[in-house]
Structure 1
Amino acid sequence: MSKSTTKLAIAFAFKELLMEKPLNKITINDIAEKCEMNRQTFYYHFHDILELTEWICESDAERALSENRTYATWQEGFLSIFNMIKKDKNFIINIYRNVPSDYLHRYLYKATYQLLYNVLEEKAKGMVIREEDKAFIANFYKYGFVGLLLEWIDNGMKDEPALIVERLNSLIQGNFEQALNNAKLNK
């Protein structure tokens, strides 16, 4: 089995176990048994369950955003994050309740920042804007976007993701360009 296939098998087994019991009750032995491998194989790929959790989050985010990193598609990218979280509700809720909050936050911030930064890069073509200004704008929006996601998770993921993204889109329509123009003018 290739290294990536083994990592995916471990991740799949871990997610299956999360359907049966809370994250804080799952052991590396449980995961290894579910994969029909030994503990050493797990340790060859991950140091611990937290590293596995982080890898799953990063891999899932990368897949969700792979085709949606432009201004024209940022809504689909953000919607993909919502849908991915909803699809893996047990996994996300377990992380949310049993792992230090910085793991989930770091994952959401990283995925959202990259999405927003790519949009800003695209909209800034032809403009002279300092790198730190683009990063500042991306960080500002990142906190708002992730705040919406965390509130949605807190409220049991009841609201329809498409409606949230639609409302967000109408709220910030034209704001990326305005922020970039303001950064350009304030040099």
Structure 2
Amino acid sequence: MPDSHITKNALSAAMKELMAKHPMEKIKISDIAELCNMTRQSFYYHFKDKYDLVNWIFYNEFVAKINESSEVNGWELIEDMCEYFYENRGFYRNALRVRGQNSFSDYFNEVMHPIIHSRLKDIIRDDKNSDFYATFFADAIRVSITRWLLEDAKKTPQEFVELIKMAVTGLAYKLIKESNEIDS
């Protein structure tokens, strides 16, 4: 493993440790560097700020693995994402509370939207409105996951994904049924 990656992993471990105890906005670069026995300059050599570090953690622990696996379908992606967030819920709840430029919330939207969108678009590719539908559901899923985490993830990932599935399929069933009743 190259030295750069070792250093980034040390900084990410320090950030996770600090975020387990403190709100992200209270953590300073000097706190992260000190925990790794590094200088602030060492931190800035690898990351532009603490938000960049949090985004790097998410990318390396989750997104890179998802991008490597083209076989993961839409529901599996959502299940995997919910499992990952649930296992790391304290960290990501803390990260999602921060809003603004370079925030994890913005990064999550920026990175996950195209991934969810592409997986959903594959499912509904034969429909002329597939782009609209994929965007609609990608947005809904991202917002739902964010709310679930910020509300302390009281449901397990399996329960949460089942609710999403029921919301999608149950609503579709109800709309089809109502449409058929109107047409009769």
Fold conserved between structures, TM > 0.5:
yes
How many Å separate the matches in 2 of 1:3 and 1:122? 39
RMSD, aligned α-carbons: 2.9
CA contact (8 A) 2:99 2:105 kept: no
Q: Does 1:157 align with 2:158?
A: no
Give the superposition deviation at 1:41: 1.2
AA matched with 1:153:
L
AA matched with 1:167:
L
Q: 1:102 to 1:163 in 2, by over 3 A?
A: farther
Instruction: Write out per-residue CA displacement over residues 119-146 of structure 1, whole angstroms, 9 at most, x where no aligned residue.
Output: 423663xx596xxx55433211111111
Deviates more, 1:41-50 or 1:147-156: 147-156
Structure 1 partner of 2:62: 61
CA contact (8 A) 1:18 1:91 kept: yes
Q: Does 1:27 align with 2:28?
A: yes
| Alignment partner of 1:147 out of 143, 154, 160 | 143
How many Å separate the matches in 2 of 1:28 and 1:3? 18
Structure 2 partner of 1:121: 122
Structure 1 partner of 2:87: 87
Instruction: Write out per-residue CA displacement over residues 18-59 of structure 1, whole angstroms, 9 at most, x where no aligned residue.
Output: 122221221111111111222211111111112212222333
AA matched with 2:147:
E
AA matched with 1:87:
E
Normalization by structure 2: what TM-score? 0.75
- In structure 2, stretches of 5+ residues that fail to align are 173-184
How many Å separate the matches in 2 of 1:85 and 1:31? 22
Secondary structure of the residue aligned to 1:105 is helix
CA contact (8 A) 1:61 1:111 kept: no
Give the superposition deviation at 1:102: 7.5
Instruction: Write out per-residue CA displacement over residues 67-89 of structure 1, whole angstroms, 9 at most, x where no aligned residue.
Output: 6654x632222122112222222
How many Å separate the matches in 1 of 2:164 and 2:69? 16
CA contact (8 A) 1:23 1:98 kept: yes
How many Å separate the matches in 1 of 2:98 and 2:124? 39
CA contact (8 A) 1:64 1:80 kept: no
Q: 1:156 to 1:128 in 2, by over 3 A?
A: closer
CA contact (8 A) 1:13 1:35 kept: yes
Corresponding residue pairs, total: 169
Give the superposition deviation at 1:170: 4.3
- In structure 1, stretches of 5+ residues that fail to align are 176-187
CA contact (8 A) 2:51 2:104 kept: no
Deviates more, 1:60-69 or 1:9-18: 60-69
Structure 2 partner of 1:167: 163
